[in-house]
């Protein structure tokens, strides 16, 4: 038995006609261009005012909701979630337990997967790969290895990227600011969060700042740089 049917309620998107769907329990869902866009199997859902069009596909247990749009040849699958006003297009892939929300855009051949979260007005494009527990937010634009770096440092995640104004931004733990501001405030932050391990954190994070600046200055191309550096806190 089909888990949903196409209703007569329609919307026009880029000259294509999209149909609101209705699930077998009577609930109304979002809009799709054809049954090719949303699998009749599995727990995948398109809900709210969300739109899926073109050759895009949503399957597995993926959820597309809010006013989100999935188009082109994009794929959203696994336990992934696309919500808010987010857009996934081109040949982009969002899968695993990844989330794309807010006004974020993922397009081109980009992939967001694992437990990664892309939100705010962030853009991920080209052949970028954002994975693990990475967080890409604000007005970040990620398109190559020269623009994004994910690390695990002293048991906390670190995500570095360039903002539109070319500023190097680093989110570490619950704090996020430019590399320049990190250098200025590092001592005070260490006293605030890890007073008994200040020396270790200052040395390690200073090395991380140097590494981030070196990686971005190189302008190397290729896959996203993923650096895993775990160090145990000194007793």
Q: How far apart are CA 29 and CA 21, in angstroms?
A: 5
Reading the block at residue 90, the tokens are: 């081109």
The domain locations on the chain are: 145-235
- CA triplet 12, 125, 64: central angle to 5 degrees? 45
Reading the block at residue 7, the tokens are: 């209703």
Greatest C-alpha distance within the chain: 67
Q: How far apart are CA 212 and CA 179, in angstroms?
A: 9
Beta bridge partners of 12: 17
Q: How far apart are CA 105 and CA 141, in angstroms?
A: 9
Residue 24 CB: number of other CB atoms within 10 A?
Answer: 10
Tell me the pLDDT of the chain (235 aa) as tens digits: 789 999 999 999 999 999 999 999 999 999 999 999 999 999 999 999 999 999 999 999 999 999 999 999 999 999 999 999 999 999 999 999 999 999 999 999 989 998 888 998 888 888 887 877 777 876 666 665 445 666 677 778 788 877 767 788 888 888 889 999 999 999 999 999 999 999 999 998 998 888 788 777 755 433 333 433 333 333 3
Eight-state DSSP code of residue 82: E
Write the CB contacts of 91 (distance below 8 Å, at least 6 apart in sequence).
Answer: 72, 73, 74, 108, 109
| pLDDT computed for residue 138 by the predictor | 67
CA distances from 103 to 48, 109, 120, 178, 232 (A): 16, 19, 6, 22, 37
Q: Are 117 and 132 in contact (CB under 8 A)?
A: no
| pLDDT computed for residue 27 by the predictor | 95
Q: Are 92 and 100 in contact (CB under 8 A)?
A: no
Q: How far apart are CA 232 and CA 16, in angstroms?
A: 56
Q: How far apart are CA 190 and CA 154, in angstroms?
A: 13
Using left for φ > 0, alpha for ψ between -120 and 50, and beta otherwise, residue 60 falls in: left
Q: How far apart are CA 195 and CA 4, in angstroms?
A: 57
Write the CB contacts of 37 (distance below 8 Å, at least 6 apart in sequence).
Answer: 46, 52, 53, 54, 56, 57, 58, 70
Residue 218 CB: number of other CB atoms within 10 A?
Answer: 11
Residue 144 CB: number of other CB atoms within 10 A?
Answer: 17
């Amino acid at each position: 038995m089909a888990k949903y049917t196409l209703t007569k309620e329609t919307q026009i998107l880029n000259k294509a006609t999209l149909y609101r769907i209705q699930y077998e329990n009577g609930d109304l869902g979002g809009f799709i261009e054809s049954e090719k866009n949303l699998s009749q199997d599995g727990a995948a859902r398109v809900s709210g005012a969300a739109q899926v069009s073109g050759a895009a596909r949503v399957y597995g247990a993926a959820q597309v909701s809010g006013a989100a749009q999935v188009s082109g040849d994009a794929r959203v699958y696994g336990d992934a979630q696309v919500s808010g006003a987010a857009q996934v297009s081109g040949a982009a892939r969002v899968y695993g337990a990844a989330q794309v929300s807010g006004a974020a855009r993922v397009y081109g051949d980009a992939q967001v997967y694992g437990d990664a979260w892309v939100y705010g007005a962030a853009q991920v494009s080209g052949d970028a790969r954002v994975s693990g527990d990475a967080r890409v937010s604000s007005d970040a634009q990620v398109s190559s290895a020269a623009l994004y770096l994910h690390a695990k440092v002293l048991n906390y995640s670190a995500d570095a990227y360039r903002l539109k104004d070319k500023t190097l931004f680093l989110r570490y733990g619950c704090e996020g600011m430019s590399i320049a501001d990190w250098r200025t405030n590092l001592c005070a932050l260490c006293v605030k969060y890890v007073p008994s391990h200040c020396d270790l954190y200052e040395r390690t994070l200073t090395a991380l700042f140097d590494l981030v600046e070196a990686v971005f200055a190189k302008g190397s191309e290729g896959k996203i740089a993923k650096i895993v550096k775990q160090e145990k806190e000194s007793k």
